[in-house]
Chain A
Amino acid sequence: MSANTMAAGTEALPKKRGLWQNAWKRLKRNKRAMVGMYIMLAILLLAIFAPVIAPYGYDDQVLTEAFQSPSLKHLCGTDNFGRDVFSRLLYGGRISLTLGLIAVALSTIVGIIVGAISGYYGGAVDNLIMRCMDIMQSIPSILLAIAIASTLGGSMVNCMIAIGISSVPLNARLMRGMMLSVRQNEYVEAARCANASDLRIMFREIIPNAMSPMIVNMTLGYAGALLNAAALSFIGLGAQPPSPEWGAMITAGKTYITRYPYLITAPGVAIMLTVISLNLFGDGIRDALDPKMKQ
């Protein structure tokens, strides 16, 4: 074949459309997922542009204006130190959302590696890893997180690590299950025929096909991580005052729950909105990610 015909023939090759593009197309048709995504985007933008949007600093104390009910001046009222709750919420979003993201990323990455090794090699390796995961899972994840956080000491970073590690078993187990079912496919054997190494088979053939439940789990896990972080902060093991982390804000507001309920309602609603929007979005992603889905 001459070079000319080759060039002529290949010019007309249509562009590669990524599977993500197709998934995005399907996702766009899902109204609920899109609502979730827009709420999430709004929350993200509010948190990112907090310094621009927030009318006050998160730590500006005006003691004469303590415990003010929501008004035009203070959209969500003020707390016991006269700090503007709305501004604190915006700044707090930066902390809470980052915390969730890092915790989820940590647990997903560790989970994928552990689960993939366990599922791919099977046998004794699998047994050892899975029994360790069983032990971790036999402790309620929040207790485990508390244990880890209190060992490491209460700080934001330790809180992320604690939450991340406590949800590794779930991700590892999910990955292992996917690994076991995906490796049954003939294309794994076909890759072996093409001389692919174990690592290549794991990372190029199996894991990409096992990812969609992992990604869904990430969005759902994000919501869980946020709640756990709030809980840790609530018992004083997470963000420390005056940090406006949402969980910490609830902790601070709990003293005044009967007289000034808006102090915990505002961060509570923020957490709830984030969790709901992520769950809606996660459900949508699950449906959109199946490459075989045509409808």
Chain B
Amino acid sequence: MSQTNQNETPILEVQNLKKYFNVSAGTLHAVDDVSFKIYKGKTLGVVGESGCGKSTLGRTVLHLLESTSGKIFFEGKDITKVNRHELTQVRRDMQFIFQDPFSSLNPRKTVGEAIADPLMLLKGEKGSQLFEDVIRMMDTVGLARRLYNTYPHELDGGRRQRIGIARAISVNPKFIVCDEPVSALDVSIQAQVLNLMLDLQEANDLTYIFITHDMSVVKYISDDICVMYLGQVVEKCPSDELFANPLHPYTQALLSAIPLLDIDQEVKHEILQGELTSPINPKPGCRFASRCKYATAKCKEPQEFREVSDGHFVACCGVTGQ
């Protein structure tokens, strides 16, 4: 798919994005030198374990956090630094769906009020126009109209997440960052919400960044996948390629750690030892090296994120190109 898009401008391009936090123990490199492109109507999955910086990445792209350095281009326009007025435009084009359907809704606002907020504040709608659009949004995401005046705590997780989705798509954005939108939901509800998100993407030609820790969900929904480890992208390639031919040792370990549904398959778990540490004042070189069974002296040097085959990028000196 990547070839067909070579000539097109990506809807979002991120170059060498960094987000550091100053903590008492030093500088936490939450997002460290991340670059990627997304083309219109596609979904980029971002996977990694807790603390790998995937949420921070999504928030930094959307200006919910200020980036430390790097560039963000949206439709070819540099939006790295924006003023209040430009931010309104950015918010109209780029929206966010939050992970926790229990804390991402104000408990003192009814469903109707929650969905009305972005319409009111970003599009200046009011009165009957606003009301009609809220009702239309509720229909779109499959929320019964009788719920208009209920409060979030009276609803289950799936319905609450639909409110979050309705808020995000109400202003007709072109691009949405979805931060673990289904991980708090039950299996049967999760499937409903995933299908809804795909339907909306098809109908409105939306572009998603889909952040998750669930490999099967990311495979289902993404066109391309970035695997993150301690603030860095270690591998990026089309979704099918990642599952068929994972190259980075961390990706391999991650994939083999998923408990599969196939009960006949001979269990050949490659158990990864040790745990993720937090990336405070990291040393140059591969951050995975301490847990990697293939680690060599070369891993102490900074790793180049290079294209080893068409559209398949990996940051590992042990991987040889074809």
Touch between A and B in complex, CB under 8 Å?
A: yes
B151 touches A15 (CB 8 A): no
Which residues on A sit within 8 Å (CB–CB) of B103? 185-187
* Residues in A neighbouring B132, C-beta threshold 8 A: 6
Q: Mark A278-295, 1 if CB is under 8 A from B, else 0.
A: 000000000000011010
Residues of A within 8 A of B167 (CB): 190, 193-194
Enumerate chain A residues within 8 angstroms of B145, measured Cβ to Cβ.
Answer: 9-10, 12-13
- The segment from B117-125, B197-205, B258-266, B302-310 found at the interface with A is B117-125
Say yes or no: is A16 at the interface (Cβ < 8 Å to chain B): yes
Is the C-beta of B229 less than 8 angstroms from some C-beta in chain A?
A: no
The answer to whether A16 and B149 touch (CB under 8 A), given A209-B107, A291-B108, is: yes
Asked whether A193 lies within 8 Å of B110 as measured between CB atoms, the reply is: no
Q: Find out whether the CB atom of B108 lies under 8 angstroms from the CB atom of A208.
A: yes
- A19 close to B135 (CB less than 8 A): no
Tell me the dominant secondary structure on chain B's binding face: helix
Q: Which residues of A are found within 8 Å of B108, using beta-carbon distances?
A: 19, 208-209, 291
CA distance A294 to B107 in the complex (A): 13
A192 contacts the other chain (CB 8 A): yes
B99, A186: Cβ atoms under 8 Å? Answer: yes
What distance in Å separates the Cβ of B139 from its nearest Cβ neighbour in chain A?
8
Q: Which residues of B contact A13 (CB under 8 A)?
A: 145-146, 148-149
Q: List A contacts of B146 (CB < 8 A).
A: 12-14
Task: Report if B244 contacts A (CB, 8 A).
Answer: no
- Closest partner residue, chain A, to B104 (CB atom): A186
Interface size classification for chain B: 35 or more
Interface flag for A195 (CB, 8 Å):
yes
Q: In whole angstroms, what is the CA distance A193 to B151 when docked?
A: 21
User: Do residues B91 and A195 form an inter-chain contact, with CB atoms below 8 A?
Assistant: yes
CA–CA, A194 to B109, complex, Å? 14
Q: Flag whether A134 is at the interface (Cβ < 8 A).
A: no
B20, CB-defined interface residue at 8 Å = no
**Is A126 close to B, CB under 8 A?**
no
Does any Cβ of B come within 8 Å of A144's Cβ? no
Q: Does B87 belong to the interface (CB within 8 Å)?
A: yes
- CB within 8 Å of B: which of A11-47? 12-17, 19
B-side contacts of A209, CB under 8 Å? 106-108
Given A193-B64, A194-B121, A1-B105 contact (CB < 8 Å): no
Q: Does B136 belong to the interface (CB within 8 Å)?
A: yes
A205 at the interface (CB under 8 A from B): yes
Residues of B contacting A9 with CB < 8 Å?
Answer: 135, 145
User: Would you mind naming 15 contact pairs between A and B with Cβ atoms under 8 Å apart?
Assistant: A6-B132, A6-B135, A10-B131, A10-B148, A14-B150, A186-B98, A186-B99, A186-B100, A190-B98, A190-B104, A191-B117, A193-B62, A193-B95, A196-B117, A208-B108
Report, nearest first, the 9 A-B pairs whose CB atoms are least far apart: A194-B118, A186-B104, A16-B149, A195-B121, A187-B106, A194-B117, A186-B103, A208-B108, A186-B98
Besides A9-B135, A191-B117, A291-B108, 4 new A-B residue pairs in contact (Cβ under 8 A), listed by A number: A14-B148, A185-B103, A186-B104, A190-B167
